[in-house]
């Protein structure tokens, strides 16, 4: 398991999925979302609100955390 922090968010590698944790208030972290990845995560980095996931089977994924007006949160693959 790896943890990287980018801005107010921490990204946690859980081998085949990535979890997002909102850490702006360290006394009360929130987990707004997670996402399954089609392959074993070998590397994880976070820069400017995006997570970069290197997988063994499926290559590189660029993932962004999104939140819209209705408080619906999700992770979105913005590049592969």
- Give the C-alpha separation, 62 to 38, whole Å: 13
CA-based torsion, 75, 15, 57, 55: positive or negative: positive
> Measured in whole angstroms, how far is the alpha carbon of residue 8 from the centre of its chain?
12
Other C-beta atoms lying within 10 Å of the C-beta of residue 46 = 20
Instruction: Provide the pLDDT for residue 6.
Output: 86
Instruction: Provide the pLDDT for residue 40.
Output: 94
Widest Cα–Cα separation across the chain:
37
- Give the C-alpha separation, 50 to 34, whole Å: 14
CATH of domain 2-79: 2.40.10.480
pTM exceeding 0.85: no
Taking the domains of the chain in order of start, what are their residue ranges? 2-79
Q: Which residues of the chain have pLDDT under 50?
A: 69, 72
């Amino acid at each position: 398991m790896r943890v990287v922090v980018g801005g107010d968010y921490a990204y946690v590698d859980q081998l085949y999925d990535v979890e997002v944790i909102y850490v702006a208030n360290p006394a009360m972290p929130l987990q707004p979302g997670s996402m399954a990845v089609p392959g074993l995560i070998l590397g994880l980095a976070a820069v400017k609100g995006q997570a970069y996931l290197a997988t063994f089977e499926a290559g590189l994924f660029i993932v962004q955390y999104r939140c819209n007006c209705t408080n619906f949160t999700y992770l979105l693959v913005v590049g592969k």
